[in-house]
Amino acid sequence: MLEQAQSAVMAEEPEVYRVSLDKAERWVTQYFQLDDDAQVILQRLTSLKGRDIVQQLPQINGSLAAIETFVALRQAQLSQTQRSGAQ
């Protein structure tokens, strides 16, 4: 269930994320002794459920501008070469 929650984070699917953590909580309470370690796990799962799923993507505007400039310069060079060869 934790792997499913992790995949949901990457896909920005908050509902799948929360459902997976709920199921993990149920499994811990159903299949494990509720000792101190299990309580810590349950607290962490509760804490994770409270977090919003927002993926911060890098800004690539500078790279896109550089590529556009390169393409424009390359096209200008090719045009100039073709005009020089035609004369």
pLDDT tens digit at each of 87 positions of the chain: 999 999 998 888 999 999 999 999 999 999 999 999 999 999 999 999 998 887 777 889 999 999 999 999 999 999 888 888 766
CA–CA dist 19, 5 (Å, integer): 8
Same domain, 43 and 21: yes
- b/e map of 8-33 (b: 16 or more CB within 10 Å)? bbeeebeebbbbbbeebbeebeeeee
Same domain for 38 and 61: no
pTM of the model: 0.60
H helices present in 32-60, as ranges: 36-49
Q: Do 11 and 37 lie in a common domain?
A: yes
Report the alpha-carbon distance of residue 24 to residue 30 in Å, rounded: 10
| Domain tally, the chain | 2
Round to whole Å and give the CA distance between 78 and 66: 18
* 66 and 83 assigned to the same domain: yes
> Which DSSP category does 35 fall into?
S
6, 40: one domain: yes
User: Domain range for residue 34?
Assistant: 1-55
Residues 62 and 51 in one domain: no
Query: Same domain for 74 and 39?
Result: no
